[in-house]
Structure 1
Amino acid sequence: MSAATLDARSRDEQVSALLKGAVDLHVHSGPSAMPRILDHEEAQAQADAAGFRAILYKDHFYPGMAHAQMLEKAYPDRKVRLFSGTALNNATGGVNRYAVDLCVKLGGKIVWMPTFSAKNHIDKYAAKNKQAMAFPSTREKMVAPTPLTVLDANGKLTDETKACIDLIAEADIILAGGHLHVSEQVPLFEEAKARGVRKMLINHPTYLIDCTDADMQSFASMGVYMEHSICMFVENSRAKLFGPADLKHLIDVVGPDRTVLGSDLGLTEAPLPVAGWREIVSMLLDLQVSEADIRKMVATNAARLLNLES
């Protein structure tokens, strides 16, 4: 056996070991209004085979807690835990306390502020494609979204947003910024912290959100985690925007203690989630990131957000 083959096997084993107990807070499996390359059961099976501790289903249009609970019951021998949450888009009534309350009562672990229905998201993609929304691309044409924000006409958080924050704080689940602009997320997380939210997450801060390094450092000082999407760094992904040096820089901005990696995979023309994870962990090793820091970003930090600490 050649030295190259031995090296490849050694790296493979190292990556596999680092993914034992991994937690993915951002799995886009189906069924969905958008095309997906795997369904929830397949995502569960693949994560379980890789030794993941937990995965969390994210759909922009419906809460996935029922799917998660039924699949855990249907496949009791699989060790991976399954979770989901609610995105406050038009399909769930927008920013409203009733959707948050239901999420909590069904065991949801996260509430995302508006994503595809966010005014920021709609404005950004309208600017890219004057004729029509370039993204998201759903299987069938859907009703045009009503732009959503968490701010009132005076630039203050709406009372309904505050009501949602209070429910999230009481349940001690994750508040995620969704696709709101950084100018909306600053007052959102300041208010959330003041109202007792302990688990806070900014999704892909450098994509759509427009966070600067200083913004990320400011959020991190408030206790907010930065979630970076693997799909934007791995090869053969239509969502690829950045390279290894960008990933290393983003980690260094707030440090591994405030960094969470999520696959954001399941989308078409991209690797399967576990394959994406294997590639990103290998990339981190190439970047000389320590195994201890890798474990924080692929497992420990996200487990803490789900209250799965051992």
Structure 2
Amino acid sequence: MREIINELLDGSYDLHVHSSPSHVKRTTDDIDLIKTASEYNMSGVMIKNHYEPTSGRAALINSHFNFSTKAYGGVVLNTPVGGINPYACESALNLGAKIVWLPTRDAKQSLKYGNMKGDFFNRKGISVLDQKGRLIDKFKEVVEVVKKYDAVLATGHISDEESYKVCNYALEHGIKIILTHPDWVRTKIPVEEQIKLASKGVFIEKVWANLDDGDCSKYEFIEVMKKTNFENIFITTDRGYYTKKSPIESLIDCIEFLLNEGVDKKDIAKMIKTTPKFIMKGE
């Protein structure tokens, strides 16, 4: 089985990883993360930080090291960058960011469950909807900036109501949209709705950490894959927290789990190679 796992890792992506520098203690830093990924000949890893853009960090790694794995950066629209701020998007994307996440830890939806480990300031929750449930103008400006750079928008930790409206608006305006970890307790989206969104063209992120931590069942994790014929589904680890396995170890565990569950290796390859490569514009 290890030979098959190594074969699948070759050319794979993980588009949701947390590494240092970070406001939260992590298992690895940016450089060691990409170095380890390159030892398995992975194609790309997305470095995510909740409170600062990572596009500059990724650019430095790619320019100073001869790793076979490309580092990607993004920006999360939390309070430190001004929330739903098109100017923060413009800045990060101009420096090479590939994904713009809507609010995560600072989302009104996420804060209903309280602070997460590592949060260090009090704030009001951010929503992309006004008091009448309509998408706010600043969000629409963000979409225009994302479209300008041919980048990708992700839902972050917003509510199900917000996610549906955001996904539909993004599709109507011709930008790639990711439904961020819909199996996590704070951002749970029913399996049936995930399938509907995937059929429309939304990219559904299936996160190993959510299954590994017990936030979802095997059914929730795998059923969407099967019902969509593994189309528009991609796998990430969302790992990096210091008490858990490293991101690369976690991706190996995920692949092994899927193989043991009878998922064909060509379908695993679709979720960790083909679809994320398409999301990253073939890079």
Q: TM-score range by the shorter chain?
A: over 0.9
Contact 2:129 2:135 in 1 (8 A): yes
| SS of match in other structure, 2:73 | strand
- Show the counterpart of 1:290: 264
Map of 1:119 onto structure 2? 108
Correspondences of 1:23-38 after superposition (within 5 Å)? 23-38=13-28
Instruction: Give 1:220's match in structure 2, choosing from 177, 198, 223.
Output: 198
Is residue 146 of structure 2 the alignment partner of residue 165 of structure 1?
no
Q: Secondary structure at the match of 1:55?
A: strand
Q: Please report how far the alpha carbon of residue 254 of structure 1 lies from its aligned counterpart in structure 2 after TM superposition.
A: 3.1
Q: Which residue type is aligned with residue 2 of structure 2?
A: D
Contact 1:248 1:287 (C-alpha < 8 Å) held by counterparts: no
> Could you report, residue by residue, the CA deviation over 1:256-288 in whole angstroms, capped at 9, with x for unpaired residues?
112110110111211111111111111111111
% of aligned pairs identical?
26
**Residues 177 and 22 (structure 1), Cα distance of their counterparts in 2 relative to 1, 3 Å cut:** same
Residue 135 of structure 2 aligns to a residue whose secondary structure is coil
What amino acid does structure 2 have at the position aligned with 1:113?
L
Residue pair 1:16, 1:50 contacting (<8 A) in 2 also? yes
CA distance in 2, matches of 1:220, 1:245: 17
- TM-score, normalised on structure 1? 0.87
CA-CA distance at 1:296 after TM superposition: 0.7
2:248 maps to: 274
Contact 1:113 1:176 survives alignment (8 Å): yes
The answer for the alignment partner of 1:22 in structure 2 is 12
Aligned equivalents of 2:107 and 2:157: distance in 1? 6
Equivalent residue, structure 1, for 2:162:
184
How far is 1:249 from its partner? 2.0
1:208-247 alignment, distance < 5 Å: 208-234=186-212, 239-247=213-221
Rounded Cα–Cα distance in structure 1 between residues aligned with 2:146 and 2:2: 40
Report how far residue 186 of structure 1 moved. Answer: 1.1
| Shift of residue 94, structure 1, vs aligned partner | 0.1
- Please show how residues 1-310 of structure 1 align to structure 2 within 5 Å: 11-76=1-66, 78-123=67-112, 125-126=113-114, 133=115, 135-138=116-119, 142-197=120-175, 199-207=176-184, 208-234=186-212, 239-308=213-282
Number of aligned residue pairs: give it: 282
Q: Contact between 1:231 and 1:270, CA under 8 Å: does it hold in 2? A: no
Aligned to 1:130: none
**Residues 217-226 or 40-49, more deviating:** 217-226
User: Structure 2 regions of 5+ residues with no counterpart?
Assistant: none
Structure 2 residue matching 1:29: 3-state secondary structure:
coil
Q: Is the 8 A contact 1:88 1:113 kept in 2?
A: yes
Residues 19-52 of structure 1 deviation map (CA, whole Å, 9 limit, x = unaligned): 1001110010111011111100110111000110
Amino acid in structure 1 at the alignment position of 2:52: Y
| Distance in structure 2 (CA, Å) of the matches to 1:18 and 1:288 | 15
Sort the Cα spacing of 1:287 and 1:33 in 2 relative to 1 into closer, same or farther, 3 A.
same
TM-score (ref. length: structure 2): 0.96
Which residue identity is paired with 1:42? D
Partner-residue secondary structure (3-state), 1:304: helix
Cα deviation for residue 104 of structure 1 reads 1.5
CA distance in 1, matches of 2:264, 2:195: 21
Give the superposition deviation at 1:190: 1.3
- Deviation at 1:241? 2.8
Larger Rg: 1
Q: Alignment partner of 2:244: what SS? A: coil
Supply the AA of the counterpart residue of 2:60.
Answer: M
- Residue 243 of structure 1, CA deviation: 4.9
Q: Say whether the 8 Å CA contact 1:116–1:136 is kept in structure 2.
A: no
Contact 2:191–2:223 (8 Å) recurs in 1: no
Deviation at 1:170, TM superposition (A): 2.0
| Aligned residues: CA RMSD | 1.4
